[in-house]
Amino acid sequence: MISRELIQHLELLNNLGVKELFLPPSSKAEILKELSIKYSTCTKCKLHTGRIKFVYGEGNPDALAMLIGEGPGEQENLTGRPFVGPAGNLLTNMLKAINLSREDVYICNIVKCRPPNNRNPEPEEREACLPYLLEQIDIIQPKLILMLGLVAAQTLLNTKLSMEKLRQTTHSFQGIKTFVTYHPSALLRNPNWKKPAWQDLQRFQAEYVKLLQ
């Protein structure tokens, strides 16, 4: 919660002509935590009616890479954490395969409340939730984004192109280098996609490693 004293102090700085403040990196975690609490009672779309827990996102607030999925499933709705069910286990292993852990990256979804029976989030639901995701990206300022599945990719890249087309190129989302790959749930349903997904992950890893040099 921002105190009255802090607001007064910021107003004073503003009056003195200070228009921009650079926050120390550690405060990103606090900001994200505050926002997740603030939005957890959201009623902007009908998904809130089935909500047990609001699933804002988790991971390293200073992450170089953000992973964006579709929406919480059953386990995520129960725990308030993204990607903790069967698809989440696969995602954790996919990260391990490219020498990353969940703690290295920031993981979140297009919608923060579970769609009933895991259906795709509807356009109005995606639109209602989008400001939360855009704000997360703004705070974390990742250098890379990995979009998991067609819902994330088509929503954010504003396209109707197929997964086959989307995964074959690198995109720019708000100036951030962006990769698209299959959703882990899709890989569980169709193991034939694991091979192309592995190729996508390797391209993503190559860019990630470049950032460390």
Distance CA 169, CA 186 (A): 20
Nearer to ligand URA, 83 or 208 (CB): 83
For position 60 contacting ligand URA by CB under 6 A, the verdict is no
Distance CA 56, CA 33 (A): 9
Q: Which one, of 162, 44, 161, 61, lies nearest residue 111 by Cα?
A: 44
For position 106 contacting ligand URA by CB under 6 A, the verdict is no
- Return the range that interacts with ligand URA (CB under 6 A); candidates 9-17, 41-49, 85-93, 174-182: 85-93
Interface residue with ligand URA among 59, 61, 72, 115 (CB under 6 A) is: 72
For position 87 contacting ligand URA by CB under 6 A, the verdict is yes
How many CA atoms, within 13 angstroms, populate the side-chain half-sphere of residue 23? 15
Cβ atoms of 140 and 107 closer than 8 Å: no
Q: Which one, of 152, 33, 157, 158, lies nearest residue 91 by Cα?
A: 152
Among positions 177-206, residues that touch ligand URA (CB under 6 A) are 185
For position 125 contacting ligand URA by CB under 6 A, the verdict is no
Number of residues located near ligand URA, criterion CB under 6 A: 13
For the bound state, the minimum distance from the C-beta of residue 119 to ligand URA, rounded and expressed in Å, comes to 12
Nearer to ligand URA, 79 or 205 (CB): 79
Distance CA 91, CA 85 (A): 10
For position 71 contacting ligand URA by CB under 6 A, the verdict is yes
Nearer to ligand URA, 100 or 111 (CB): 111
- Residues 6 or more apart whose CB falls under 8 angstroms from that of 49 comprise none
- Please report, as ranges, the residues that interact with ligand URA according to CB under 6 A: 69-73, 76, 82-83, 85, 87-88, 109, 185
